[in-house]
Structure 1
Amino acid sequence: MSTHESVLEKPTDFLDRKAVLAKDPNILTAIYDEDVNMAVWQRNHPNEVMLAIEDFIQQHPKTAKRLAVTPNTTHEVMYKSFGKTPYVTTLADDIALIVDMFCCLFEQKRAGLRLTVLERPMCPRFHVDLIPCRLVTTYQGVATQWLKNTEVDRSKLGQGNQGKSDEESGLFKQLSNINQLTQGDVALLKGENWQETSGGGLVHRSPAISDGEKRLLLTLDFIDF
């Protein structure tokens, strides 16, 4: 089954949902609020991490790994996949922190980790995921784009676009409706399978990537229910 919802109908008991953003990592707990469909920890990487990211992309330019990790096994799994080097250790330190936060927040024993170097958009059309929740962070490059609930016509998702582009289908009214995360942000995106979220999951897409640029994307998903 695809993890993307095609066309969504607004339920009669529809509750408008919003994104919340803050520089405090505790903002991520707001994902449990009924009226929130995205919680974002806004952060900037220190120079040490930025240098490690650059080295990682240079040495592993074709990375597309799907891994199962726990907070305690993240380093081991990263070393097994990419070798034990200083830059892998620095990157694994940061990833282990995020895995620990994700698993603690959702009471998960482990997480499904996807680490990918991208040269083109992974999901270029606006969509909603058929999952409970996903963590997304862009280590390098342009980050995820999203639409506010109040500024999107969900009937234009999937086949509802009638073959037109997102910009032409009527999904949103103007380009200024498109919001974008920032490199380094850690975001939790509710999908359609989060409790009572049907019709309110976050509408988002992968950004366009300029020729010659690379994007390093990390996502975490539930694999234990």
Structure 2
Amino acid sequence: MLAPTLKLRPVIRQVQGEMPQTLTRILDDGVNLAVWQRHLPLHIADFASLLLSLNEPLAESLVLEMPGEDAEPNLCGLASGFSDLEGYEGFLTDVSWLVSAFACLLGAKRIGLRLRALDKAMCPRFHVDHVPVRLISTYAGIGSEWLKEGVMDRRQLSQAESEPTNNALIQQIGNGNVALLKGEKWHGNEGFGLIHRSPQLAPGERRLILTLDWLS
């Protein structure tokens, strides 16, 4: 009689690279973060910085239907209050490309989009997301912070006194980078969603952040 074969859980790891193909690594077992370390085109970076400098509120959400591989997201009205700023069309084109790439990679038919200008940490404690996967890109300002596996006891998430105080242990997603974060609802990743948090902002500091969620 043959002994039963035990399926070993892969080592939890994170992948970063300068090519957009790096994002496909989120599909690999054991990878709970894939980061495309891109440099924003200057006209898009300038648009994002100018938008924040106006100190106007921005908190918009869309549910995008993507019925087929060739479907283009309907971003009509997104950040329309800033449509007169130079670089707006380029910004929309970039967001559209990210949505289409996200849908193609995951086979997503419905995507939740959020675009926000923040002046404080939205999720200040280290936590995991209870979603399959989330895309995060900070167009202006500082990016989200995350931890490698084993740095913090998962049983103590959201407890301030248990968070690492050594800054050398805290990783950060760069400005303009595109990150895919695997959450607790990704099949096979239960208990290993990426541990991350919003960065603390100094008085007067702001960030422009885009998130995409796989709804179906």
TM-score normalised by length of structure 2: 0.86
1:209 matches 2:201: yes
CA-CA distance at 1:90 after TM superposition: 1.7
For 2:87, the equivalent position in structure 1 comes to: 87
1:17 to 12, 34, 53: 12
8 A Cα contact 2:128 2:193, kept in partner: yes
Structure 1 pair 121–206 and aligned structure 2 pair: CA distance change class (3 A): same
- Kindly indicate whether the alpha-carbon contact (under 8 Å) linking 2:33 and 2:180 is maintained by their aligned counterparts in 1: yes
Q: For each residue in 1:50-86, what CA deviation from the matched residue of structure 2 results, as whole angstroms up to 9, or x when unmatched?
A: 121123334572101111235623442427x436434
Aligned position for 1:37:
32
Q: 1:115-130, aligned counterparts within 5 Å?
A: 115-130=115-130
- Higher share of residues assigned helix: 1
Asked if 1:106 is matched to 2:98, the reply is no
Rounded Cα–Cα distance in structure 2 between residues aligned with 1:214 and 1:148: 26
Distance 1:78 1:151 in 2: 38
Superposed CA offset, 1:88-133 (max 9, x none): 2121011011111101001112311000000000100000011100
Deviations 1:111-166 (A, max 9, x none): 110000000001000000111000000001110000001322112113xx3xxx2x
SS in 1 for 2:121: coil
How many residues are matched? 204
User: Given that residues 135 and 186 in structure 1 are in contact (C-alpha distance below 8 angstroms), is that contact kept between their aligned partners in structure 2?
Assistant: yes
Unaligned runs of 5+ in 1: 1-11
Partner of 1:187: 179
C-alpha offsets along residues 165-184 of structure 1, whole Å, 9 cap, x if unaligned? 2xx32x44733111011100
RMSD: 2.1
Aligned residues of 1:78 and 1:88 also touching (Cα < 8 A): no
Aligned to 1:47: 42
Q: Is the 8 Å Cα contact of residues 73 and 99 (structure 2) preserved in structure 1? A: no
Alignment of 1:116-195 (within 5 A): 116-158=116-158, 161=159, 165=160, 168-169=161-162, 171-172=163-164, 174-195=166-187
More deviation in 101-110 or 139-148?
101-110
Identity of aligned residues (%): 38
Deviation above 6 Å: which 4+ runs of structure 1? Answer: none
- Secondary structure of 1:221's counterpart equals strand
3-state DSSP of counterpart to 2:137: strand
TM-score normalised by length of structure 1: 0.83
- Residue 6 (structure 1) aligns with: none
Instruction: Flag the 1:108–1:97 CA change in 2: closer, same or farther, 3 A.
Output: same
2:4 maps to: none
